[in-house]
C-alpha cells in the first residue's frame, strides 16, 4: 500500500522552546512569552509554519491531546476526529471563540504531556484522589464505570476482586487508571495494550480471560470489531467515576477560567446535554 504521508497517530510529542539562562529576569521572559502567545492568536505563527513547515500545525496557546477511546474520542472512517468528548471540547472552544488543534495520540504520551509540559491539556482524564492536586480540572465531560467483561459463554463468574485475581489474565489499557487500580488492589495477572480496541479484540479472541474496560465504550468497540454487543457480559464493577479535561498545573489561571466559564455556558444552554444524548441516548446525565 502506498504511503500517503498522512499522520494517523502521534506516538510521542517533543516540544521545542526558547531557553533563557536562569540569570535573565522574569519580566524579560514574561515579555517574550506574551509576544509568542500573541503570534499564536493573530496568525503570525500560522503564517511562519505555512512558509517553512507546510502541512504542519503550529502549537496553540495550550496544546491539546486526546487518545483513541471510542465513543468519547476516535477517528471516523473519513479520518476526522470525532466523539462525545471531542464535540464537547469543540463546543467549549466555540463558546470562548478560539480554535485549537487536537492531537490524537496514545494515552501514555497524552498523560506524559500534562504531567511534565506546561500549557498542555489532555481529555478525557479520570479525576481521582491521587490526581486531584496534580492537574487543573474542567468538567466533567463523561461518567462511566470500569467493569470486568468476559465472553458470554465463559464457564466462570466474577463476583469479587478475589475471583478476578484467580484468572489467568485480566486485560486493560496501558496507563489507564484501571491499570493502576488493579495493581494497587494486588493483581498480578494484569496485561495491557495501547488501545481499548486491542484489549477488546484480545478478549473476543480468547487470549485473555477478562477485560476491564469502561462500560459506555462496549457498544462501539463491538461494532468496530464486527460482533454483537451480547458476545460479552458484565460480571463485576471495579470502580465508577467522571472524566474531565485535565490541564497541566501551571497553565495560565485566566485561560483555565475561560474554559470553566464556557463549560458552564454549554451546560446552561443545553448544548452539552444534546451532545450527550446523541452518543448515549439510554444513559442519563
**pLDDT, tens digit, 9 for 90 and up, residues 270-282:** 999 999 999 999 8
Which residues, at least 6 apart from 103, have a Cβ–Cβ distance to it below 8 Å?
10, 13, 63, 64, 65, 66
Which comes out higher in pLDDT, residue 222 or 76?
A: 222
Helix, strand, coil shares of the chain as percentages rounded to 5? 40, 25, 35
Note whether 75 and 49 are same-domain residues. yes
Q: For 113-158, what is each residue's pLDDT tens digit?
A: 999 999 999 999 999 998 999 999 999 999 999 999 999 999 999 9
Has residue 284 been placed in a domain? no
Question: Apex CA 80: angle with CA 266 and CA 55, to 5°?
Answer: 110
Residue 268 has pLDDT above 50, yes or no: yes
Flag whether 249 is in a domain: yes
Cα 119 from chain centroid? 16
Q: What is the pLDDT of residue 14?
A: 73
Same domain, 116 and 232: no
Band (2; pLDDT cuts 50, 70, 90): very low
Per-residue pLDDT band at 9 (split at 50, 70, 90): low
63 plus 155 within the same structural domain? no
Task: State the average pLDDT over residues 63-92.
Answer: 94
Are the CB atoms for 187 and 174 separated by under 8 Å?
no
Q: How many CB atoms lie within 10 A of CB 110?
A: 26
Are 113 and 166 found together in one domain?
no
pLDDT, average across residues 46-74: 89
Return mean pLDDT, the chain: 92
Are 237 and 247 part of one and the same domain?
Answer: no
Q: Do 132 and 32 sit in the same domain of this protein?
A: yes
What digits encode the pLDDT tens for the residues 83-113?
999 999 999 999 999 999 999 999 999 999 9
Structural domain range at position 69? 26-142+242-279
The answer to whether the Cα torsion of 53, 85, 83, 13 is positive or negative is positive
Same domain, 256 and 165: no
> Is 112 in the same domain as 214?
no
Mode of pairing for the β-strands spanning 210-214 and 102-105? unpaired
Domain-located, residue 13: no
Whole-number Å distance between alpha carbons of 240 and 145:
4
CB 197 within 8 A of CB 225: yes
The whole-angstrom separation of Cα 197 and Cα 187 is: 22
* Residue 69 counted as domain residue: yes
pLDDT digits (tens, 9 = 90+) for 14-45: 778 889 999 999 999 989 988 988 888 888 98
Question: Are residue 207 and residue 274 in the same domain, yes or no?
Answer: no
| 1: pLDDT strictly greater than 60 | no
Percent of the chain whose pLDDT exceeds 90:
78
Range among 29-38, 47-56, 221-230 with highest mean pLDDT value: 221-230
User: pLDDT tier at 4 (50, 70, 90 boundaries)?
Assistant: very low
Domains in the chain, number: 2
Tell me what the mean pLDDT of segment 56-60 comes to: 80
- The span from the CA of 142 to the CA of 243, in Å, is 5
Sheet containing strand 170-173, edge to edge, reads: 102-105, 63-67, 120-126, 232-248, 135-151, 210-214, 170-173, 190-193
CATH number at residue 151: 3.40.190.10
Looking at the structure, tell me whether residues 138 and 252 fall in a common domain. Answer: yes
- Grid coordinates representing 254 are 485566566
Both 134 and 246 in a single domain?
A: yes
Looking at the fold, whether 128 and 246 belong to one and the same domain comes out as yes
Res 5: pLDDT: 52
196-214 pLDDT tens trace: 999 999 999 999 999 999 9
Question: Can you tell me the distance from the alpha carbon of 213 to that of 178, in angstroms, rounded to the nearest whole number?
Answer: 8
Amino acid at each position: 500500500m502506498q504511503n500517503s504521508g498522512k499522520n494517523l497517530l502521534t506516538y510521542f510529542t517533543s516540544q521545542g522552546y526558547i531557553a533563557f539562562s536562569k540569570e535573565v529576569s522574569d519580566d524579560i521572559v514574561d515579555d517574550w512569552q506574551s509576544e509568542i502567545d500573541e503570534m499564536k492568536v493573530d496568525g503570525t505563527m500560522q503564517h511562519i509554519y505555512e512558509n517553512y513547515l507546510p502541512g504542519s500545525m503550529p502549537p496553540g496557546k495550550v496544546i491539546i491531546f486526546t487518545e483513541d477511546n471510542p465513543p468519547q474520542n476516535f477517528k471516523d472512517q473519513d479520518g476526522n476526529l470525532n466523539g462525545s468528548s471531542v464535540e464537547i471540547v469543540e463546543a467549549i472552544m466555540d463558546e470562548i471563540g478560539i480554535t485549537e488543534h487536537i492531537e490524537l495520540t496514545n494515552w501514555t504520551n497524552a498523560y506524559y504531556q500534562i504531567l511534565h509540559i506546561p500549557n498542555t491539556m489532555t481529555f478525557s482524564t479520570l479525576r481521582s484522589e491521587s490526581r486531584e492536586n496534580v492537574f487543573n480540572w474542567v468538567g466533567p465531560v463523561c461518567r462511566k464505570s470500569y467493569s470486568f467483561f468476559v465472553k458470554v459463554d465463559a464457564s466462570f463468574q466474577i463476583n469479587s476482586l478475589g475471583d478476578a485475581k484467580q484468572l489467568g489474565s485480566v486485560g486493560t489499557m496501558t496507563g489507564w487508571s484501571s491499570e493502576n487500580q488493579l495493581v494497587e488492589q494486588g493483581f498480578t495477572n494484569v496485561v495491557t495494550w495501547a488501545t481499548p480496541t486491542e484489549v477488546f479484540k484480545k478478549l473476543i479472541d480468547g487470549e485473555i480471560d477478562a477485560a476491564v474496560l469502561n462500560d459506555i465504550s462496549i457498544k462501539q468497540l463491538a461494532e468496530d470489531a464486527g460482533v454483537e454487543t451480547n458476545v460479552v457480559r458484565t460480571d463485576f464493577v471495579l470502580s465508577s467515576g467522571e472524566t474531565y479535561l485535565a490541564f497541566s498545573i501551571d497553565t495560565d489561571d485566566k485561560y483555565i477560567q475561560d474554559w470553566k466559564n464556557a463549560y458552564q455556558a454549554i451546560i446552561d444552554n443545553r448544548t452539552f446535554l444534546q451532545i450527550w444524548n446523541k452518543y448515549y441516548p439510554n444513559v442519563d446525565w
